[in-house]
A and B are shown apart, each in its own frame.
Chain A
């Protein structure tokens, strides 16, 4: 492999901008993603998918496919019904009464969304498989679709007749409804808003893919999958396909992004395993982009009814939320739990005394929803941050002022929220102040006023969002109380090899986050050695047997902490051994620069590498000590972590065309202690762009018959570099008290903060028209129509034909 720039050796490493060790192989093309794995004799799968949103499967005729060259086999759902030991798993039955439809890897009786797989073809090449899939004849009896959430609630069309209703479950968090009612009864100001969280397509650049290789002797299988969750997948494949867990090795090779979409157990993974078992041949399936849009989970899909009660000064006295959540056609791995991840957060960073949340989750004839970057938390943050801006207008104060009047104070931590969470640490006003200073807020407002006074067509909007989130999933007992069927711990092992090199085994499974670099930094920092001497092993259940994988901004706060704690345990053992051989008391030894030295006798030392070699030879160990330097940690966090920050977006809005340009973005994030600020910034940048994309561009749009209209990247508008402004980032550091590293997590923060900041900016630009809300994405057509409607109502300022060519110059500075 081509080597990349040598990393820092010696000296403090934690908190430095160490370049990523992952980069070399990715830059040269040597990294291997699933589709790059060449296994001789592998067969290729192609799926036949329903073109109907809801249809009875009358007949599946695969004979045409079987007659085609290169075709080895072809199966309908009925043909494979006996292959399954269980249905595709849903791991989060949020209530005991939750309705759960049967969900098999291939539909047998009914297809329930466009893209639902009904048959599979196995052939010797990808081309032959796809040709033959077209030759499978499926006879459908199409049924009416139901895509609109509120229409689904009427049960006029029931997606799964055996369930009798489209309502999957209702769930509430309403500690004291009487207090909420009283707050509204006596409120000086009320906000009553309805927000729609449109469906989004996660659109990782690497489509999904799976390759299952049966071992030539014996009955075991190696499953290579483009997944975020090799460990969970192994358990679920065992349960679904009926293969003993001991016969399954799951490997996530290089994985090209996930954003939650690869946090799942998919039909194709189970199918590939079952067909490899049945045919005794390696089997491979690689997703096409349109399949990725239709048959990989989508995100969001909620209608939020949000009410705030406030006193005359704008102090919020109650928050009431009524949520309708779109499950899609089936319950995937954690589909039902997504609204719950937001349920506790609708009071935001504000000191709110009364709270009520109710959620109704419904089935529709659309692609199943599930976790997408932020998963429940962007939705909650959007609702409260949008509503706070509306409240500011009601009260007649600036958006930053309404927030200051309601923030939980920096001295209030740990803070027990009305929803029952204990926020670990925070300084919300500090992040707001920092962000306003960073953005040059007063000058921006002055420029906005100047443009409004001039009356041109290019108006400025400035939007703020003071977000927080709950991540570091999660204390297992809390997950149990929410009916989640797994724990939230993470595992790590650290071993110092006889030569002094260190191997770290982690249960996290990175797909772009740079865990190899960051985990090596954590270990190197604690041992006082170079990160180059630390190897990080992950994403292979044969080499890293324990883990709960990567999602929910949990990897550093839970997995990184496990690595740190395992390292400390190894050091403890090494210290005992070194003390024994140096004939001093353990407490007289200090570890610095990878060497134990006797306090007060600096010439009496023993390097860690020497200790490791002694542990390996085991010639002279203290009585009762076992050989080798190795320790493990299975860390179950005592609480979530609560990152926070304030983001500020500046948009330029063309009042003639409705076009919104994001011209500047300023983000102040506090994710606790930073292991590698370069990686933190990268996460913030990417996250902000995804959040801004929900606000301005992206929508998984369906027609009333349930056809996905944005099933290609021509139609689904993932932003390019040309749409993205320079993003200025800065951070405050408020360590989390819940883990030894003081870290919180940052993978989702940008996405959570961005959408409300951008829409608040758009609405701010539209406020002279009397417009209080705009649906996402704020497309030119939507914005133009809102302006036209306002003009017709006569609630607009006098517009002039003059063109204002002034643009805001975005600058990129980084400070920490």
Chain B
């Protein structure tokens, strides 16, 4: 067990965790932030994507002990009392989700893109989304939503 101190969505958490505990399990089961989904546990599907100090990472490929002293942002931190995040609104408007299992991960990659110098071309958006698998939508609504918020 190791003691770690992590800032998650702006709240400080101090926990003792097994060295081998995945970041995804730490977030979901230790902190109760189950909005982050686990789809493959081998870093391909992208469902578990979170932001680590602002960069999109796979929480299934990181250990909780690796994020000691870092800031992690998850889907739970996006909507505020005033409503949905603009990217959430855009996905809703463009029917960018069906079963919704991949949505949290896609949102976090999109948030990362929104923080960069833009605008992003449609080709760029598709390339960045290539780290995510959505089995339902065929991606049209997702690409349209991201284009609206981070595109040209």
Contacts and interface: CB of A to CB of B under 8 A. Distances in A.
A and B held together in a complex: yes
B76 A29 contact: yes
A682 B141 contact: yes
A512 B104 CA distance: 15
Given A5-B89, A29-B34, A20 B104 contact: no
B134 interface: yes
Range, interface on chain A? 35 or more
Given A682-B137, A713-B42, A27 B97 contact: yes
Given A2-B79, A289-B41, A713-B133, A254 B98 contact: no
Given A2-B79, A720-B130, A721-B129, A36 B28 contact: yes
Contacts of B134: 205, 721
Contact of B140 (A36, A254, A812): A812
Contacts, number: 182
A27 B138 contact: no
A32 B93 contact: no
B135 A726 contact: no
Label chain B's interface by main secondary structure: loop
B138 A727 contact: yes
Contact of B133 (A205, A685, A727): A205
B37 to A, nearest CB: 7
Given A28-B84, A259-B135, A721-B132, A205 B95 contact: no
A204 B20 CA distance: 27
Instruction: Specify which of B38, B75, B98 lies most central, judged by the most chain A CB atoms within 10 Å of its CB.
Output: B98
A307 interface: no
Interface in B18-46: 18, 20-21, 25, 28-29, 32-42, 44-45
B136 A712 contact: no
Interface string B119-152: 0000001110111111111111111000000000
A255 B136 CA distance: 12
Contact of B34 (A36, A127, A679, A722): A36
B101 A514 contact: no
Contacts of A326: none
A708 to B, nearest CB: 15
B12 to A, nearest CB: 20
Interface in A517-565: none
A206 B131 contact: no
Interface residues of B, number: 60
Given A4-B84, A256-B99, A712-B40, A205 B140 contact: no
A47 interface: no
B99 A511 contact: yes
Contacts of B135: 203-205, 257, 259, 686, 690, 718
Contacts of B20: 127
Contacts of A723: 130
A689 interface: yes
Contacts of B139: 685, 689, 720-721, 724
B103 A26 contact: yes
A512 B136 contact: yes
B84 A722 contact: no
Contact of A257 (B34, B98, B127): B98
B25 to A, nearest CB: 8
Given A23-B100, A713-B44, A718 B133 contact: yes
Interface in B67-103: 74-76, 78-79, 83-84, 88-89, 91-93, 95, 97-103
Nearest to B132: A720
B111 interface: no
A31 interface: yes
B51 interface: no
A256 B107 contact: no
A31 B79 contact: no
B49 to A, nearest CB: 12
Contact of B84 (A27, A288, A512, A721): A27
A720 B141 CA distance: 13
Contacts of B102: 205
Nearest to B29: A38
A688 interface: yes
A5 B92 contact: yes
B56 interface: no
Interface string A11-55: 000000001101110111111110110100000000000000000
Nearest to A723: B130
A74 B39 CA distance: 27
A714 interface: yes
B101 A206 contact: yes
A37 to B, nearest CB: 9
B142 A682 contact: no
Given A256-B37, A721-B142, A33 B101 contact: yes
A28 B44 contact: no
B64 interface: no
Contacts of B89: 5
Nearest to B85: A27
A678 interface: yes
Contacts of B25: 126
Contacts of A750: 138
Contact of A29 (B21, B36, B38, B41): B36
Nearest to B18: A127
Interface in A715-743: 718, 720-724, 726-727
B35 A30 contact: yes
B140 A31 contact: no
Nearest to A665: B138
A374 interface: no
Contact of B143 (A22, A255, A686, A721): A721
A31 B100 contact: yes
B57 interface: no
Nearest to A676: B95
B45 A205 contact: yes
B152 to A, nearest CB: 15
Given A20-B92, A722-B129, A512 B99 contact: yes
Nearest to A203: B135
A368 B54 CA distance: 44
Nearest to A685: B138
B8 interface: no
B107 to A, nearest CB: 7
A325 B103 CA distance: 36
B77 to A, nearest CB: 9
Interface of B: 18, 20-21, 25, 28-29, 32-42, 44-45, 47, 74-76, 78-79, 83-84, 88-89, 91-93, 95, 97-104, 107, 125-127, 129-143
16 contacts: A28-B88, A30-B35, A31-B100, A35-B28, A38-B32, A127-B21, A205-B102, A205-B136, A254-B99, A254-B100, A259-B135, A678-B95, A681-B140, A682-B136, A685-B137, A723-B130
Given A20-B95, A289-B40, 19 more contacts: A5-B92, A19-B93, A23-B100, A24-B84, A24-B92, A27-B75, A27-B88, A27-B91, A28-B78, A29-B76, A36-B28, A203-B135, A254-B100, A289-B42, A511-B99, A512-B136, A714-B44, A723-B130, A726-B140
10 pairs of A and B residues whose beta carbons are closest in the complex: A29-B35, A26-B100, A512-B99, A256-B101, A685-B138, A512-B98, A713-B44, A721-B129, A722-B130, A689-B138
